[in-house]
Amino acid sequence: MKKVFVLLLTVAMMLSMTACRIVIDGEEGTASAGKVDGSIGLSVSTQNNPFFVTLVEGAEAAAAKLGVKIQITDAADDAAKQATDIETLVSSGIEVLIVNPVDSDAVAGAVSSAVAAGVKVISVDRAVNGVEVDCEIASDNVAGAAMATQFIVDTLGEGAIVAELQGITGASAAIDRSAGFHSVADGKLNVVASQTANFDRAQGMSVMENILQGNGDIQAVFAANDEMALGALEAISGSGKNVLVVGFDATDDAVEAVKAGRMGGTIAQQPALLGATAVENAVKLMSGETIEKKIPVEVTLITKENADSAGEKVEIVGNGTIGIAVSTQNNPFFVTLVEGAKTAADQLGVKVQVTDAADDAAKQTTDIETLVSSGISVLIVNPVDSDAVAGAVRSAISKGVRVISVDRAVNGVDVDCQIASDNVAGAAMATQFIVDTLGEGAIVAELQGITGASAAIDRSAGFHSVADGKLKVVAEQTANFDRAQGMSVMENILQGNGDIQAVFAANDEMALGALEAISGSGKNVLVVGFDATDDAVEAVKAGRMGGTIAQQPALLGATAVENAVKLMNGESIEKDIPVEVTLITKDNA
């Protein structure tokens, strides 16, 4: 994407991150952002397979867009050659190695040497066994193969006689796809043959001919890639038998075979996105940023029913503007979220329109209708109420607008992407801190957020997942994420429960309001909040608050805009993008 490197540097300067995790540590600072002046090496297993041709094309396109050099080597499915290729790339002075292994074990020595030489490493599509690389980018091969095998069960029924064509021995994709196949087949199907055809079409044909000779009653074949599946089809066609064939990769030839009814199905990966994502993350590493240890790319089953739309890019309606319907700007967390979104939009060269619902669900419905009427292409919505906003969001989708929810979900609506912190885990972490500090059986109260907001629901669930078994909860009241209401509700709770020892507030605004009430009462009550706003972190530093859960509102906003731009470019994006949280206490604040 245009200017994405500048965006990534900007976000990095806004946030302090640690060790390949998206977490905040409560301290202000900037991430190192060096100039990208080196090159990326891509060692690919083979270019004699359409899947990896497309993966390389995606990598080359991303490199051209981001203005970085990329050197590409083709191992031709030869593990020894790949080891030499990697040594050559490292000797040439690359900063990051992207490796798509021929064999996940055999490549380990060369990758270890690259790491020892100071080269960053990203594996793509297949893992490197026994080596800790910086990032592993891959489709969910186990889930995809299980999905394909369940399709065989659903089509032919349990007990059907099947064969498996396996990929290259030692390749992680081959191992994972075989594991996914057997996770379903071993309990539901009669597997009479499992043989290796090395991800190759000619070998797929030859191996399938042999299997058919020994097992004339075979009803179905799962092939761990489409090249082997297409080879198997040739053998089956020559035998005159009727055998259901399901492959993996959704290459053009395979999708055409599915459309024609010759193949039953195939699992769709996104090879171009795998390559592009690898290069994008290589650039992040070159700029000194941290990246996720594992980046999954979703897969789906392609059958005759949906094959016509496989691989098609969705036409984006509207004028290229992104609409942001935010719940409120009377809360520092959402102010920062919007600032992150605007910064991303500026750097990516797209327009945004922002509306503020002022915590009024009816107003947010009107805001969304207004944004859609103005011709936006993508709606980013941070709901006041996860249920109340559903109708307006459905209406937007019916008009062709793509939708991303951020921080809070839209209940009952299938949006394109949900970007949120792990609110359940964060609240559980905060509550466990109360247990660790005061001991089990401590008397506590809970200040809940806006009724119906997914963040409020999730944080309450996280609180109770720990508190119900370890603490004595004497009060649970809603203060609507508001500081003044937090103070008022806390005053009432203190009047009725003078022996309260701790309070969990589902956001920092309520926590700070509760602190004011507690200060006025002269009592000593441990308060833990959620959001790590500036005021809350200062209160933690001063010892007035016990702790708070750190989210990354600027990154939430920036990530939403970045993915909105991907949608407008016709790219696929993840359905759920989680942003991790961490506990801030006086020790790390």
37-64 pLDDT tens trace:
479 999 999 998 888 998 999 899 888 8
Question: How many structural domains are present in the chain?
Answer: 4
Instruction: Name the strand (E) or helix (H) holding 296.
Output: strand 294-297
Same domain, 432 and 526: yes
Query: What are the Cα distances from residue 80, in Å, to 31, 103, 132, 561?
Result: 38, 10, 21, 43
Q: Which residues, listed in sequence order, are joined to residue 527 by a DSSP beta bridge?
A: 503
The CATH number linked to 150 is 3.40.50.2300
* d(C-alpha 211, C-alpha 119), whole Å: 45
Same domain, 185 and 98: no
Q: Which of 369, 386, 420 is the last residue before a domain boundary?
A: 420
* pLDDT for 311: 54
* d(C-alpha 503, C-alpha 527), whole Å: 5
Same domain, 118 and 84: yes
Any domain includes 193: yes
Q: Which of 390, 420, 450 is the last residue before a domain boundary?
A: 420
Any domain includes 264: yes
Same domain, 197 and 109: no
Same domain, 119 and 18: yes
* pLDDT for 316: 57
Same domain, 131 and 146: no
| Residues 266/258, Cβ–Cβ less than 8 Å | yes
pLDDT in tens, 67-121: 899 999 999 999 999 999 999 999 999 999 999 999 999 999 999 999 999 999 9
Residue 332: HSE in the Cβ half-sphere, 13 Å Cα cutoff: 16
Q: Which residues, listed in sequence order, are joined to residue 232 by a DSSP beta bridge?
A: none
Any domain includes 585: no
* pLDDT for 223: 98
Q: Fill in the amino acid letter for 32.
A: S
Same domain, 189 and 262: yes
Q: Which residues, listed in sequence order, are joined to residue 139 by a DSSP beta bridge?
A: 297
Any domain includes 413: yes
* pLDDT for 372: 94
Same domain, 343 and 385: yes
* pLDDT for 552: 84
DSSP 360-387: -HHHHHHHHHHHHHTT-SEEEE--SSTT
Q: Within the chain, which residues score under 70 in pLDDT?
A: 1-37, 309-317
Same domain, 147 and 127: no
Q: Please give, one letter per residue, the 3-state secondary structure of 58-117.
A: HHHHHHHHHCCEEEEEECCCCHHHHHHHHHHHHHCCCCEEEECCCCCCCCHHHHHHHHHC
Q: What percent of the chain has pLDDT over 90?
A: 71
Any domain includes 573: no
pTM, rounded to two decimals: 0.45
The dihedral sign for the CA sequence 219, 221, 227, 228:
negative
What residues make up the domain containing 355?
Answer: 321-420
